[in-house]
Each structure stands twice: as C-alpha cells, then as structure tokens.
Chain A
C-alpha cells in the first residue's frame, strides 16, 4: 500500500502553489496549500502496511470562512472541513458630539477579514457618505447636517451591530430687538419693540427705570413684542432711560416739558432789531399785514412792531392781535381785545 506522505490542502483566498517532491523510491508526495505554513500535517502513519492508522493535525483557522482540506491515503481521499472564526466587530467612537453646524465625522470598524458589515443611519440629519458596507477593517464616513433649532438632538448610526450615538448641539440663541432707541414726548405714551429670536429662545424685558414700565411681553420665547404703557405725565427733561430686552437695551428718551422762558429776557419779540428784510415792495396799495405766531407761555402783547421801510410812510392803523380762526363755518373768534389804532 502506497501512501502519500503529505496532504493536499486547499485554501480559499490564498495564492496557491504547488510543490512536488520525489521521496522514497519514486513515490509521489504532493503538497497543495499555503506557502507560508502547513495547515494540516500527518503526524503518524504516513506509510504503512495492512491495517494502520493515519494521524494528522489540523491547524487553527484564523479566518472567518470555513475551509476544506484533503488527505489522500491508500488512494482514498479524506476531506476535512474546518469552520471559520466567529466574526467580532469593534467600532471606534460610538459616542460622538457634533457642533450645531454639523460636519463630517468618521468611525473605524475593526473586524476580521471576511467579516462583512453595514452602516445605516437612523436619523434623517445624519447621512452615511462612505463605508455603508464593508468587510474586515474599514471606515464609515458620515455627515451631520446643521441643526437650525436651538434644542440639541441625538441620532444613531447602526454599524456592524454596534451603535454610534451622535449628540448635536443646538443653535445659540440670538436676539434682535427693534427699535433700540425710542423717543417719547413729554406726555409719554405707549411704545413697543419687537424681538426676533428663534423658537425656543426665551427672553425677558425689564425696565431699568421707574418711569418706563413694561405692560406686555415681559417675558417670551421666540419672536415677540414688548410694549410699554403710557409713560408718566409731564416731568422735567430726562436723561435717556433703558429697557433691557433679551440682552439688548432699548433706550427711551423722553422730552421734558418745554422750559419756561427766562422772564428776564422779556419783553420779547420774534425778530431782533438787526433783522433786515430782503425786499421793500413798490406796491402802494393799502394793506393789512400780519404774522401768525404762538407763545409758549401766556402773557400779554403790549405792541406790534413791523419793519418800516422809508417808503412805507402812510398812516398805520388797524393794529390788532387776534386769535387764529380755523377754516370752515366755525365761528370766527373775536379779537381778544378790540382793535386799537396805533400811532406811528
């Protein structure tokens, strides 16, 4: 009985090399296998006569695929099928933080050759850009969309049986308040300012002074309006005061009551003595000429002045001060005092 002294071993995925050697008086020994190592070797009974036992050793299979080898003994083939390794996977960075702006991220997958895997996003705002499938070691690349909301959010990617959890921060709240500078008359009155902010951004409005109060919108979230009610009644002229809204300052400037005229300046006139008219008309018709005026304070008109050109030589009469009448059929107000003739 002849026996090949070496087994034929076939491997998946390895480059094959056949080596043939002549041994023991022309008997052929065949080795068909991995060039680096001997995966199955006959340890006893490589040759014999009559009944006998062939002993052989099977090396460990570090791969994930099963494999088959054969031993030829006495013209018969012994087929040995060896199971592969169970696949195990390691994913780096299973807990990831992202800024609100989002951006590209990646994770590496460590697995034995032949161990295939997939990467699937479970969030609409996370997309796998590369490495959605792989085998053995690999990299999963994914993109995180910008988070336009102010709240943070969490999404997951399933990779090779593992979970990558992505926590993305929300937008920082920004607030626009308009207008930030308000003028009020001395009488006061309601004012309002609008706050522009993203939903979920809360704010408050606080008056920093006693004479400005917030009547509505002292707190809010997102867009809103802050209103102030009537300011208090007449006060002396004020320095600007402020309402703080959403971290911004609305400056309210309220006019004071018109300052009383310095009494020492009166008697007063509208125009000074040095005022010079542009024209002296040559229109010689008789005419009544007037000026419409007001005074900040009550008082008395003691006289009427007019610029008298050298040719305005006539008799000047009809001097009057009358309260202005308004149009329409409203009754004319009488002169505050009867007209008096002047003399000049």
Chain B
C-alpha cells in the first residue's frame, strides 16, 4: 500500500507504521522482538526495550496501536526513500487521554 503523498520522517526517531484490517487473520511471529530487532540499514525495526515494547496493535477500529503482545512481529514493513525530507516539525493537535484522566486499555491474552 502506498501513501498518496510520502510521509517524512526524521533520522533516529522512533515511528510506528501500521495498517488496519477488518478481517484479522494476520501474520505474526510471537516473541520476535524479544530476541532483537531487525536491521536493514538505514531501517531498523526496534527490539523490545529500545523504545518501549515493539509488537504494537490495537483491536477494533483503526487507531494508533498502543497495545503490545509478547514482542510479536506482525510483519508490518515500510517503504522508505531518502528523497527530500520534510523538515517541518510535527505539531500537537490533540492528546488522548488528556493529562490526569483515566483511560482504559484492553489486553489480549
């Protein structure tokens, strides 16, 4: 799947790339990121612990995948190119949950 317009990323900054499927039945290697990341310079899928847990998912409707499960690798990949980077920093447009509020998280067992 390709973006209509490329998304700029900065060097050495953690990003999450994700997709949503409404039918599940996704590919997975459990524990994959517990043993280490995957490196194919300049890209690096982070091992668990480098910047929190890898294995990011979110059940339900499309949302930022903030759940984690056993360092699972869902085999999500990015297509990267070094073409002209957008150096405009991101801006904060909203925060969820808001500071000092309670949010619920679902855990998959």
Contact = CB atoms under 8 A, between A and B. Distances in A.
Interface stretch (A14-22, A190-198, A314-322): A314-322
A343 B14 contact: no
Contacts of B95: 329-332
B7 A337 contact: yes
A296 B2 contact: no
Interface in B64-109: 64-66, 73-87, 90-96, 99-100
Interface string A305-344: 1111101111111111111111101111111110110111
Contacts of A332: 64, 92, 94-96
Main SS class of interface, B:
loop
A262 B33 CA distance: 26
Main SS class of interface, A:
loop
Contacts, number: 354
B51 A277 contact: no
Contacts of B20: 286-289, 316-319
A158 B54 CA distance: 84
Contacts of A281: 24-28
Contacts of A286: 20-24, 59-61
A209 B92 CA distance: 48
A267 B9 contact: no
Interface in B28-52: 28-30, 38, 40-46, 51-52
Contacts of B76: 289-291, 304-306
Interface of A: 258-261, 263, 266-272, 275, 277-309, 311-327, 329-337, 339-340, 342-344
